Structure 1
Amino acid sequence: MKKIISLFSLVMVLLFGSCIEQNYPIWEGAEVEFQDAVVRTPVPGQTFPRVTVSNDVGAVNLQVNLVARQRPNDETITYRIVPENTTAVQGTDFNVSGSFVIPANESFGRVTIDVLNTGAIGGFVDLMIELEGNSEILPSQNYKQVQLRITRPNPPAAD
């Protein structure tokens, strides 16, 4: 008898428990974030990751994720150079446009950085990029920055 009552109780709990309507909140916002900021560990003591490239690499494409429903139209997203964490010089070490497009019905865009070959002069320079978004799509506060470290090979040793 106890087994029948236990089994009946379990069936009733499952039956009535499954009928409870769950109203989970649905986030309707829209943000953009750097993929590298999501998957890479931040620089020690900082909140941003660093991507290291050689000065002879040419174009570097950084993936930007749209965290929202896909849009029916192209979305132009702006970004800026953060001077406090940048030692590279526009036109000497790199070129950027300041904006990129997330195509209609897509979830990703790409920031293209043209890394200029400054030759074998040794050392490195840093370039910090921060997403700004647009009027409808905001930057993710946790994943809006990436630093690019551009290394330059040492000059050949003198004979």
Structure 2
Amino acid sequence: MKNINHILIVFFSLLSTMICTSCMKNTDDDFYFRDALVEFDIATTTTNAPDRTYPLLSARARNAGVVSYRINLLGQQLDTDQELTIRVLAENSTAQEGLHYSLPNGNTVTLRANSSTAEFQVNILDFPRQSVGGPVVAVFEIVGNDRVKPSQNYKAIGVQISLR
């Protein structure tokens, strides 16, 4: 009996020593999002249009003026301003820049240092009313830059503009 007690004491001593001194991976690092990605905020809450990889937003009236769409940064805030490029997907767009809409800030958006959001602005112009036809669409896609990449699922939106 004395031998068994002695063996148990030695066993539990070794076990507790191993538990207290063993190397364990810091699992907190597994949950940090290290890449800098950007996305259209409205694309995250709006269902994609059928057969498209982007949502078609509710139609804006002609002469609606400047409409802002928020761009979110995923990951840690950056210590310098980031110029993000936005491109018009001409193959998917039926709206004409200069006739139906304009981009007040051009095709770039500035994500300010230590910020998690930026604003992309589209100016819906006043153009002659048309009695036939549905809305025209301008499809915008975030291209990003060398440091900030677009989120593949939420990088584009289709802005509809009513012709009536």
TM category (shorter chain) comes to: 0.7 to 0.9
- The alignment's TM-score, normalised by the length of structure 2, stands at 0.77
Among 91, 100, 112, the alignment partner of 1:103 is 112
CA distance in 2, matches of 1:27, 1:89: 38
Is the partner of 1:131 in helix, strand or coil? strand
CA distance in 1, matches of 2:147, 2:113: 14
Matches within 5 A, 1:34-49: 34-49=40-55
Counterpart AA for 1:136: R
Match of residue 23 from structure 1: 27
Match of residue 32 from structure 1: 38
CA distance in 2, matches of 1:47, 1:80: 15
Counterpart AA for 2:49: V
Match of residue 6 from structure 2: none
Shift of 1:45: 2.4
Could you list the per-position Cα deviations for residues 36-76 of structure 1 after superposition, in whole angstroms to 9, with x for gaps in the alignment?
A: 11011111222211112111210111110011211122111
Match of residue 69 from structure 2: 62
- The alignment's TM-score, normalised by the length of structure 1, stands at 0.79
CA distance in 2, matches of 1:78, 1:87: 21
| Structure number having the greater strand percentage | 1
Shift of 1:109: 0.3
Question: How many pairs align?
Answer: 136
Q: Which runs of 5+ in 1 are unaligned?
A: 1-15, 154-159
| Structure number having the greater helix percentage | 2
Counterpart AA for 1:140: S
Among 121, 129, 132, the alignment partner of 1:112 is 121
The structure having more radius of gyration, on CA atoms, is 2
Counterpart AA for 1:23: T
2:89 is the alignment partner of 1:82: yes
How large is the RMSD of aligned CA atoms in angstroms? 1.7
Match of residue 8 from structure 1: none
**Aligned partners of 2:33 and 2:76 also within 8 Å:** no
Match of residue 3 from structure 2: none
Is the partner of 2:42 in helix, strand or coil? helix
Counterpart AA for 2:145: N
Shift of 1:27: 2.7
Runs of 4+ in 1 over 6 A off after TM superposition: none
Identity %: 28
CA distance in 1, matches of 2:75, 2:85: 17
Shift of 1:21: 5.8
Is the partner of 1:54 in helix, strand or coil? coil
Could you list the per-position Cα deviations for residues 95-134 of structure 1 after superposition, in whole angstroms to 9, with x for gaps in the alignment?
A: 1210011112110001101111113224321100000001
